Amino acid sequence: MDRQFWTYLGWRVLQSLVIIAIVIVGSFLLLHLVPGDMVDVLGGQRGDMDAELMATLRERYGLDQPVLVQLLNYVGSVLQGDLGYSYRNATDVLSLVLQRLPATILLVVCSVITAVFFGTMAGVIAARHAHRPIDVIISMIVLVFYATPIFLTGLGLVIVFSVKLKLLPIGGLITPGVDFSFLELVGDVALHLILPVFSLSLFYIAIYARLARASMLQVLDQDYIRTAYAKGLSTYNVIIGHALRNALLPVVTMVGLQIAELFGGAVLTETIFSLPGVGRLAYDAVFERDYPLILGVLLVCAFIIIVVNLIIDIIYTLLDPRVEISR
């Protein structure tokens, strides 16, 4: 790690902060464009609030202030680590989100790893045997993965593995009411995650398999691969030692581009498998018009996506020494 690298890192962090600021302001203003405020929603649902009570509530929560003041108040409290208060859950937003975050992070991280690992492996095997039966079979499987929507994959997997075969749990993250040791807990969570992770990652396995195949074929045609063979290396060592790292570069880039999309998929997956994650929380928050909570979830997700992108950029520069890390 030379100085150039740290300068680069500093810049990227700064960039990220700017993006987060834009996200905060942007989503706050966006939610303010929606007609009616929190108090209207509460009033509409309870139906027994009079105008006086509503005015009191507005005053209490600062909703009677001009938008700009509200925004500044919000930014101020976010900077102090306070994401606001969820009236509907009667808890502060941050602790609500943090409580749900582990399940989501577990789901997303496992899905990315699964997708990259199996996708790349399938792509590399297909490229190695390009235009031969194995390649054709892999292409067909990949096409099926690609074309099946997440909810269908999820429901299908549940029906086969949980309902019919009774091999895996139907939903949730932990078997309720059992006193587990730590290792048993890990095993139990892993069992619960298998189906959600595969439902979420099948589509991405397909994407990465296609990408890895194409990039592997291109790499295998390069002069330095010929050099590697000229040294006397076996095909296996040429692929693992010389081609794979180069072929992975486009896959890594793609992961970075798709991470936000993957969070979207996580909402759906968490709903199907009733996982106690942020996705479920956001889903419920939208239906209940719990604005502070929606805003908080948006913010935390944006933060995570930005951090993940930063990590992926760093991985990329470590993989490819040619990347210009100035700017």
Partner 1 sequence: MQEQEQGAALLDVRKLSVLIKQSSRQKVRAVDAVSFSVGVGETLALVGESGAGKSLTAMAIMRLHKAQSMGVEADSIRLDGQELSTLSDREIRKIRGSTMAMIFQDPLSSLNPVLTVERQLVEAIRLHNDMSAAAARQRALELLDMVRIPAAKSRLGEYSHRLSGGMRQRVMIAMALAGNPKLILADEPTTALDVTISAQILDLLRELQTELGVGMLFITHDLHAVRSIAHRVAVMYSGRIVETGNVEDVFSRPHHPYTEGLLAARPHGSFSLDGHKLREIPGTVPSPADRPAGCAFGPRCNRSQPDCESQPPSLRNETGARTSFACYHPLKEVPA
Residue closest to 119 by CA, chosen among 39, 61, 203: 203
Label residue 82 exposed, middle or buried (CB < 10 Å: 0-12, 13-18, 19+): middle
Label residue 200 exposed, middle or buried (CB < 10 Å: 0-12, 13-18, 19+): buried
State which of positions 193-222 bind partner 1 (CB under 8 A).
222
Residues near partner 1 (CB under 8 A), total: 20
Identity of residue 48: D
CB of 252 to partner 1, least distance (A): 12
At 86, which helix (H) or strand (E)?
strand 85-86
Q: Taking CB under 8 A as the rule, does residue 233 contact partner 1?
A: yes
Q: Taking CB under 8 A as the rule, does residue 95 contact partner 1?
A: no
State which of positions 29-48 bind partner 1 (CB under 8 A).
none
CB of 125 to partner 1, least distance (A): 17
Q: Taking CB under 8 A as the rule, does residue 5 contact partner 1?
A: no
Q: Tell me whether residue 59 or residue 320 sits nearer to partner 1 (CB atom).
A: 320
Please name the residues in contact with 191: beta carbons below 8 A apart, sequence gap of 6 or more.
168, 169
Q: Taking CB under 8 A as the rule, does residue 115 contact partner 1?
A: no
Residues in the chain: 327
Q: Tell me whether residue 58 or residue 129 sits nearer to partner 1 (CB atom).
A: 129
Q: Taking CB under 8 A as the rule, does residue 3 contact partner 1?
A: no
Candidate residues 91, 231, 264, 274; the one interacting with partner 1 per rule CB under 8 A:
231
Q: Taking CB under 8 A as the rule, does residue 120 contact partner 1?
A: no
Q: Give the 3-state secondary structure of residue 85.
A: strand
Buried b (16+ CB within 10 A) or exposed e, 125-145: bbbbeeeeeebeebeeebeeb
Q: Taking CB under 8 A as the rule, does residue 4 contact partner 1?
A: no
CB-based contact 4:55 (threshold 8 Å):
no
Q: Tell me whether residue 150 or residue 243 sits nearer to partner 1 (CB atom).
A: 243
Q: Tell me whether residue 97 or residue 219 sits nearer to partner 1 (CB atom).
A: 219
| Binding region for partner 1 (CB under 8 A) | 222-224, 226-234, 241-242, 245-246, 319-322
